[in-house]
Structure 1
Amino acid sequence: MRSQQLMRWYKTLLAAFGPQHWWPAKTAEEVIIGAILTQNTAWKNVEQAIAALRGAGALHFKAIAALDTETLVELIRPARFMNLKARALQSFARFFGERYGYSIRRMKQKPTDELRKELLSLYRIGPETADSILLYALEKPVFVIDVYTKRIMSRHGFLSMGHSYEDFQALFMENLSADVQLYNEFHALLVHLGNRLCRPKPLCDQCPLRGIA
């Protein structure tokens, strides 16, 4: 029942909004950098920081590892909380270099559960950031949960906002096929819906899910 309902939602959102082409990045490392920078800030701010890193030739972790902290802080200043995020980027750069030799291919070979534990042990990498890295950068079938997803699912009576990240994640992963493309597109569509219509003050009369059982 839940599986069929979720797939109806997916098909309805895809028909309404079209493919989202998320994550907007040219490389897996750029996805990871963006996933760290987007914490607690708008994506437009992240885009400015990424442009600055690209202009400095530092949009990959080997270059980030070689930067001094002050330079990195200034480059990512538009993303806000730049001191914390600079430390997070440097922490990931050390981990990525020491554990995987800056190789995304080698990183992808690690079993998902083990890799997720490694990511969660890093500075300022929580479940949402870890799962964004796993899904969007490393193409692992892990459904990402964020504030938009929680808000939408709670308003439609699936779970309350008081439920845990893991509860919301299980709702999707236990009822959908473990398909990277499906998880990618479905999550991106929910983000689009939450950003555009299912806001703190919702525009329910415009929602494509209105009346969908």
Structure 2
Amino acid sequence: MMDIDLRSTMDIQITALEWMLKDDKYYKYYPDADEDACLEQLPDGTLKVTPEKYYGRVMDEFDYSLDRVYSGKSPILLRLQEFYKRCWVLKLQDPYISLIVTILTQNKTADSARKTFHRLQHHYKGIDVYKMAGADKGELERLIKTSGPYKADYIIRSSKEIIERYKGSLEWMRDVPTREAREALLSLTGVGPKTADCVLLFSLGHDVVPVDTHICRVTQRLGLSCASGDSEAAKRRVKEDLERKEMIPGMAHLLIINLGRDYCKAVIPLHHICPVEDICPKRGVERAEKPLETS
């Protein structure tokens, strides 16, 4: 039986956003069966899948745990790797699906993107590049309203571009140099650097580090990057520092995301319980916050 922390696993990677979260349970729509599978973690730690017939199919989506993502010398990353060893990487999924999910996350929460994607899947009985290229714009705007109705234009236009330029598939990007695949993704409507890198890493197998505001904040505090702030220039510097200077594998950035979500928070970092508190340089943090005393 695999030892998995379901919450950590499902909160931090694009492929996991195909699962909608509701009442501490995760639901994924399988178009071929026109049915949802439900995944939950029981109090004893075991994973339950309903209907049970989907158990093997669901569990096959878990690939390997985070204690296998890094083999370098950074004491901080080695500590985090052990701390988050019950968090798993999900297997590579359809790059087009990951593209749509990532677009839905732009400037929105993961929870919003999950719900919107699940709604799209049910409405269209499974989405693909041809369905989205031919979608009615007004209808699509209503379906994705909570994740940004303006993204309907991105989805329709980028889908048409994929059909016109690449015969309706992004699969060819697995076998070309990363730079070529990244440039092709960036040429699509609505696709920026973070979106392109998420698709490259989580669905196409390219070893890149997606960088956003949260990654900027945490890597700077950890001393893994010399950048400051979260401007586009800072993000480019963070990406260069992580990929070239620190030689961090793409999937290892999940360790940094986990730390930022759980402890290295933007306003009040939880230094008093942080797993790397004693070895973190706390770059840019004026003082370590202490827990409030209660009377």
Structure 2 length normalisation: TM-score? Answer: 0.62
Greater displacement, 123-132 / 9-18: 9-18
Q: How large is the Cα RMSD of the aligned pairs?
A: 2.3
Structure 1 partner of 2:205: 139
Contact 1:20 1:188 in 2 (8 A): no
Tell me how far apart the structure 2 counterparts of residues 100 and 69 of structure 1 sit (CA, whole Å): 22
Structure-2 separation of matches of 1:24 and 1:88: 26
Instruction: State yes or no: 1:88 paired with 2:157.
Output: no
Task: Work out the CA distance in 1 between the residues paired with 2:185 and 2:95.
Answer: 15
Correspondent of 2:121 among 40, 48, 54? 54
Which residues of structure 2 form unaligned runs of 5+?
1-71, 281-295
Mapped pair 1:207 → 2:277: no
Residue type of the partner of 2:135?
L
The CA distance in 1 between the partners of 2:88 and 2:216, in whole Å, is 22
Instruction: Output the amino acid matched with 1:111.
Output: P
Structure 2 residue matching 1:82: 3-state secondary structure: coil
Instruction: Give, as a single letter, the amino acid of the residue that structure 2 aligns with 1:61.
Output: V
Matched residues, number: 203
Show the counterpart of 1:4: 73
Residues 22-52 of structure 1: CA deviation (Å, up to 9, x unaligned): 5698533221111111011110000111111
Deviation per CA, 1:83-109: give whole Å up to 9, x if none.
Answer: 2x1111122212221222222322323
* Alignment map for 1:1-213 (pairs within 5 Å): 4-5=73-74, 8-21=75-88, 27-56=94-123, 57-79=125-147, 81-83=148-150, 85-157=151-223, 158-162=225-229, 164-175=234-245, 182-184=249-251, 186-200=252-266, 201-212=268-279
Note the residue ranges of structure 1 that are not aligned, 5 or more in a row: none
**CA 1:69 to 1:53, structure 2 compared with 1: closer, same or farther past 3 Å?**
same
The change in CA–CA distance for 1:195 and 1:47 in structure 2 (over 3 A counts) is: same
Distance 1:23 1:122, change over 3 A: farther
- Normalized per residue, the structure richer in strand is 2
Rg larger in 1 or in 2? Answer: 2
User: Structure 1 stretch 95-104 or stretch 61-70: which is displaced more?
Assistant: 95-104
Cα deviation, 1:159-208, whole Å, max 9, x if unaligned, reads 23245222111111114558xxx412x12221121122111121112221
User: AA paired with 2:244?
Assistant: E
TM superposition shift of 1:73: 1.2
Bigger proportion of residues as helix: 1
> Using the alignment, how far apart are the partners of 1:135 and 1:73 within structure 2?
28
